[in-house]
Amino acid sequence: MVTDLSGMDTMVQLKEGGGQRKPTSLPKVDYHCHISITEYTDPAHPTIISVSIEEFLADLDEAGIEKAVVLSDMRTTPKQVSAFVKQAPERLMGFGYVNPILRGAAKELRRQREELGLFGLKLYPCTDSYSPDDPNAFEVYDVAQELNMPVLIHHAGMPEAHDLLTHTDPAQIDVVANNFPKMRIILAHLGYPRVDETLYVLRKHKNVYADISWPYGNINHPSYLWLLWRDLLTAMNMGVLQKLVFGTDYPGIRQKPYLDMLMSVNKYAPHRDLYIPTERLWAMLDENVQPLLP
């Protein structure tokens, strides 16, 4: 449990895991947010959750988070995201969206950066039915690399029959990262269910990161916390914990409860030798994310 989440720039003492967070002036960031999202806790009955700008900022404030990345998709267009983030430009960063294998996608990405002011790019290989290493997508990667746009890739299974797992293979990201070594790549949702392979891609490539946004099924079940602890322990063992960044998949999950859960992740560690250091957990919100900010 966290004794105090209201002042994250002060010393924080955890009951589980021990250790204190030193004061830092770096802004805390949620690197994975939406304006509207389909929530799949019960795959048979998905629900759409949407938020206003006022609700969005209030939720960030409640968690003590200063900045957030807002993502485009097929339902929330880059134009809508651009208008949304312009209401709070000091706090919100917008990411565009294209299907990179379609004709004109590279030109459209350039327009989203130059006309809409969007900072990064979000891709959905499994939903749009392409492999990330498809050569037809390389022109988009060229533009993203040229414009220094981070590319956040949905890199996890989806409980929809047409969202094929073949398009979430970490081996395909391995190819892309090798061909575009200056393009910053963030793999969403820890790559679940291929977490270990995803973490190894982070180990291989300096330009590849991952976010910890809602990777599993039922966030309200105690097993969620155990799964998160297990995968963070694997990341620490592989030496890539510093390449993981905090994300929520908001508004599917709000920042405050997700942060509370992260900071109690050592609850299921059977021995102190297997604790994730508190300082390393907090770093996901600020220090780790620095290479991915404007």
Would you state the pLDDT for residue 158? 65
CA distance 63 to 152: 23
Which residues form the domain of 163?
29-292
List the one residue out of 136, 207, 127 whose CA is nearest residue 167: 127
Instruction: Please report whether residue 243 resides in a domain.
Output: yes
Domain-embedded: residue 2: no
**Residue 3 maps to a domain:** no
> For residues 212 and 179, what is the distance between their CA atoms, to the nearest angstrom?
25
- Integer Cα distance of 16 and 149 in angstroms: 38
| 294 touches 150 (CB < 8 A) | no
Domain membership flag for residue 24 = no
Enumerate residues 6+ apart whose C-beta is below 8 A from 21: 8, 11, 12, 278, 279, 282
Q: What is the pTM of this model?
A: 0.90
pLDDT at res. 16: 41
Beta bridge partners of 39: 47
Question: In the prediction, which pLDDT does 2 show?
Answer: 33
Cis peptide leading into 251, omega within 30 of 0? yes
pLDDT < 50 stretches in the chain: 1-19
Tally of structural domains, the chain: 1
In contact, 51 and 251? CB cutoff 8 Å: yes
The domain that contains 265 carries what CATH number?
3.20.20.140
- CA dihedral in degrees (234, 239, 242, 246; nearest 10)? -10
Cα angle vertex 100, ends 213, 180, to 5°?
75
Answer yes or no: is 245 within a domain.
yes
- 3-state DSSP assignment of residue 147: coil
Q: Give domain status of residue 20, yes or no.
A: no
> 5 lies in a domain?
no
Question: Cα–Cα distances in Å, from 159 out to 39, 45, 46, 194?
Answer: 10, 11, 10, 15
DSSP state of 199: H
SS3 state at 73: coil
Longest dimension (CA), the chain: 54
- Is residue 257 situated within a structural domain? yes
